[in-house]
Structure 1
Amino acid sequence: MTQGKLSVINKSNEGSSLALHPPSYQEATAGGSPSYSGSYLDEGEMFTQFSWDDLNIRRTFVRKVYAILALQLSFTLAIVSLFTFCEPIQDYIHSNPEWYWAAYAVFLVTYVTLSCCGQLRRRFPWNLILLVIFTLSLTYMTGMLSSYYNTKSVMICLGITVLVCLSVSVFSFQTKIDVTSCQGVLCIMCILFFICGLVLSLILPFSHVPWMQALFAALGAIVFSMFLAFDTQLLMGKKRYSISPEEYIFATLNIYLDIVYIFSFILQFFGNRE
């Protein structure tokens, strides 16, 4: 008889549990999503300490970033080649330096906007429009810099830049070293780079110091090569920090900027002025 009462109680408990309402969406997703080993990112966050378990999301994100990056670099290469080989264009941009400063102002405005305004950076088509304007301004600045060097130097430095970027990217893909956890080293290198640039800017108006300019260019190439490894591992994920798949514009912006700066500093270090 006791067993009969227990069975009745168990059946009633089962019936009451079945009668409960299903969990809400917030309750169901409170423990994390199947694609991430942690909770969802807030809207203002772009970095996470959680690795990606869904390879399809990561592969789609990486393909999108490198497709946009390939278009940017192809356009930049075409403009640099045009500014290097075409003498009438060289004469025009050398006689109108105000276009360089206008491009520099546009570069700063678009870079700060894309870096600081998360809502605008993720809103189509404004994110792509700003990225195009950013690419145009930085391409003009790079092309004007290249126009002051002879053609052979520019071609050699382009080849060196390709080898450096490929080596750093392959290293970032294959290595077990977590570059994303080395923010302290990057911060120290940036401080040294800033101090060297500040000293150089104070000395240049009074005298020409070739060794200090070479040191500044070499330090800049090293710093931005480290940033390229850092940004590549943020893009690939599976490290301590990774970038959100929604931030494909920000990821493209950083890697493109790293590559262009690496070329600029290599050109200043190895190039011969006309």
Structure 2
Amino acid sequence: MTKGKLSIASKVSNGSSVEALVSPTPPSYEEATAGTSAPCYNDVETLTEFNWDDRNIRRIFIRKVYAILMIQLLVTLSIVAIFTFCAVFFVTYLTLSCCSAPRRRFPWNLILLCIFTLSLSYMTGMLSSFYNTKSVVMCLGITAAVCLLVTVFSFQTKFDVTSYQGVLFVFCMVMFLSGLVLTVVLPFQYVPWLDAIYAVLGAILFTMFLAFDTQLLMGNKRYTMSPEEYVFASLNIYLDIIYIFSFFLQIFGTKRD
């Protein structure tokens, strides 16, 4: 009898221990969410999550805002510069002038030269649009005549222009400093004779550069140009002619009313 009672008690105790090991059934979604409202997130809670009285947090916030702002402005400036012919002109000119590999590698040299020509042609056309049509045609004729005479002179004369690099460098420095003075003086008061003198000096300087660059092609002077530099030679002579035309337009051109 005592053994029977012990066996029943052991069964009861074993059953309760098994039930204790089994985890209770989790409530359903409806039971768990009953009587509660759905979480709501708004901007007020997000902004007030930090303690704005902490100066370090505010400094970090300001730095992040201005860092993002600077990146946005740089991207915008880069895109504007890409679509601006002036920027395209300077980029292609510096690439062709300072980097020997791109200007010697076909077809990239011709592609860069075409882009450079289009950009400079656009700027020259915009400059010419401010002047009368007759004066533009007249300056084109004068430029063509001067370039023809300088080319014939460079090929026929025994005078070596390439040996006068120091003179051209000093002349360039004078023109550069004069240009800086004009950029300061002319906005306050336009001086026609000062502007005309600067244009005359510029026309003379680039006429000398045209003779210099032409004789670099000949190969029988003190300084010569490698046959591989045909793009660089075309670039230099083209720039000389365009600058001569722009200075003649500044001297003889009549602006539109």
TM-score range, shorter chain: 0.5 to 0.7
Report the counterpart of residue 207 of structure 1 in structure 2: 189
Report the counterpart of residue 161 of structure 1 in structure 2: 143
Cα offset, 1:230, TM superposition: 0.3
Partner Cα distance (1:116, 1:191) in 2: 20
Report the counterpart of residue 256 of structure 1 in structure 2: 238
Cα offset, 1:185, TM superposition: 0.9
Q: TM-score, normalised by structure 1?
A: 0.63
Partner Cα distance (2:219, 2:193) in 1: 39
The 5 A counterparts of 1:85-234 are 102-234=84-216
* Max Rg structure: 2
Cα offset, 1:102, TM superposition: 1.6
Cα offset, 1:105, TM superposition: 1.1
Report the counterpart of residue 70 of structure 2 in structure 1: none
Q: Give the residue type in structure 1 aligned to 2:140.
A: L
Cα offset, 1:148, TM superposition: 0.4
The answer to whether 1:241 aligns with 2:223 is yes
Counterpart of 1:242 in 2: which secondary structure?
Answer: coil
The 5 A counterparts of 1:35-114 are 102-114=84-96
Structure 1 residue ranges without an equivalent (≥5): 1-97
Cα offset, 1:192, TM superposition: 1.2
- Equivalenced residue count is 176
Cα offset, 1:143, TM superposition: 0.4
Cα offset, 1:186, TM superposition: 0.4
Partner Cα distance (1:236, 1:267) in 2: 30
Cα offset, 1:176, TM superposition: 0.6
Percent identity among equivalent residues?
A: 70
Cα offset, 1:104, TM superposition: 1.3
Structure 2 residue ranges without an equivalent (≥5): 1-79
Deviation per residue, 1:212-240 (Å, 9 max, x gap): 11111111111100000000000111001
Counterpart of 2:84 in 1: which secondary structure?
Answer: helix
Q: Give the residue type in structure 2 aligned to 1:213.
A: D
Moved over 3 A (4+): none
Report the counterpart of residue 41 of structure 1 in structure 2: none
Partner Cα distance (1:236, 1:200) in 2: 37
